[in-house]
Amino acid sequence: MGPRPLSVSLEQGTYVLLVLTNLTFSGICAAIRLETQLNLASYEIFDLEPELGGTWWSNTYPGVACDIKSHNYAFSFEPNYDWSCVYAGGAEILEYLRRVARKYGVDSKIQFRHRVARLEWRADLQKWRIGIEKLETGETFERDYDLVFAGMGPLRVPNIPEEFDAFEGPKWHTAQWNHEFDLTGKRIAVVGSGASAIQVVPSIVDKVKTLEFYQRSATYIIPRRNGRYNAVWRFFFRHVPFFHWIYYTFLYYSTEFTIQAFSTKWRHIFTRLFAVWGAWLVRRVNIKDRQLRTKLTPHYQLGCRRIVVSSDFYPALQRSHVNVHTTGIQSVKGNTITLKDGTTQKVDAMVLATGFRIMDILPEGSVFGKDGCDVVKVWGMDPKTYYGVTSAETPNMFFLLGPNTGLGHNSVLFMVESQVDFAIKTISFMMQNELSSVQATGKACQDFVDLVGDKMKEMVWSSNCHSWYKNEQGRVTALWHWDCSSYARKLRKFRPEHFLGVRRTKNGFDSMYV
């Protein structure tokens, strides 16, 4: 028996709000599931950007692509039989997102260039009061909503170190690519050695006069065998019964298996040693120059930082007009970069591949939850949530890809679908029990934090290396500690004992349901 109609517990005429800084997979998934599983169409979507696509709309740098295999980087309920290659490029992923949004009518619900400036939980109304700014006109307004989905996404706020402010030439972050600047014949600096830098460098190396590559620490790289799916493959995917499902399932479990390489437990030692040996062999075969190979050899445990997939990065760095710098940058002045060893390089433009502010999940002073608390201040750098989906301070709010739900080995879309399905179960429980709100208990949130903290001790991410997975105290707050399947099992059922609920009575909203 399905959930009762919305009017059973939530007032007729109110809305579900999807709060989205940029609409990408998580938000689209939530909107689709609300309609297809709850028959709930009275929602609104606010998007900061002028077009949908989120990460795949804002990141348009040369070479942008996914490092997860294409057939696993799609919704399980909306497979794409027409991927062109094993690892899809950004433009192809964006087109898939737009096609799915059109098919389910999500695109017609989006209000672009709207900034959600303030969210305040009104216990007297059992609603979220939302302050919204229309960016094109500067107009501001408020509305009340029953439920909030916060799908801001972790890769949205570029990290731009202040030390580069003094550079007087053109400079931009990879997530804000300057397509008007012609790289041809220019001296270009690329700062950073993460995934975006490793994709950018091979894509621009043939255009530039010189390329100065500044690496703080080397990255583990595995080959990108990016074969193409021809017409025969696509025919089999689309028309042969179960062929796509078998292929999709094979990719999923083969990737899930790699989580063992991130474990420090003895029973996984052979998997880990095999992965370390493979990474060494890739460098040994692809980098002929011993000195360069030394520069590009990581000095931390494999997996502590994200492993990158690439087959053209090492060849690009061996071009005669490319210089690899591993000494730290001391200062930037005018168009000159000075390193700590005293050497200088003059460049015409600077590309910052310096990552994102992952820990800025919510802006301080923007979300006021239960009892008027500033949620960001209460959390600090150590957020306490219930499986990254909700918290004790935020009734009726669901985070998508919240704290401790990122992955270092597989597609986050599996996590997104698990989170959205859990939110749907929670809303269904509210409807069936005529509740106005639910919130996770403080104990349930603390139990989750303790669980992840204890399990993380067995994982390489907790080792002594610097990464965006950790907060300032060294606790891993960005990642789930094991495979996607184990996370999905944890959220398979809604557990009322982990939540508090409020039901309307004759005296108002004062009846607590446990």
What single letter denotes the amino acid at residue 182?
D
Q: Do 287 and 313 meet the contact criterion of CB atoms below 8 Å apart?
A: no
Give residue-wise pLDDT tens across range 326-354. 999 999 999 999 999 999 999 999 999 99
Q: Do 310 and 202 meet the contact criterion of CB atoms below 8 Å apart?
A: yes
Give pLDDT, residue 105: 94
Burial of 299 from C-beta contacts in 10 A (0-12 / 13-18 / 19+): exposed
How would residue 242 be classed by pLDDT, with cut points 50, 70 and 90?
A: very high
Rounded Cα distance, 263 and 286, in Å: 27
Provide CATH 3.50.50.60 ranges for the chain.
Answer: 13-156+360-513, 162-352
The two structure tokens encoding residue 123? 């216990």
Give pLDDT, residue 156: 66
Is CATH 3.50.50.60 the classification given to domain 13-156+360-513? yes
What radius of gyration do the chain's Cα atoms show?
24
Rounded Cα distance, 470 and 479, in Å: 9
Q: Cα-flanking dihedrals φ and ψ of residue 124, to 5°?
A: -70, -25
Give residue-wise pLDDT tens across range 182-203. 999 999 999 999 999 999 999 9
| pLDDT at residue 12 greater than cutoff 50 | no
The angle that helices 243-257 and 231-239 make with each other, rounded to 10 degrees, is: 100
Give pLDDT, residue 151: 82
Give pLDDT, residue 4: 36
pTM score above 0.85 = yes
| pLDDT at residue 68 greater than cutoff 90 | yes
Rounded Cα distance, 400 and 397, in Å: 10
**Cβ contacts of 309 within 8 Å, gap of 6 or more:** 67, 87, 221, 222, 223, 224
Is CATH 3.40.50.850 the classification given to domain 162-352? no
What mean pLDDT comes out for the span 111-137?
A: 93
User: Strands (DSSP E) along 228-327, which ranges?
Assistant: 308-309, 322-325
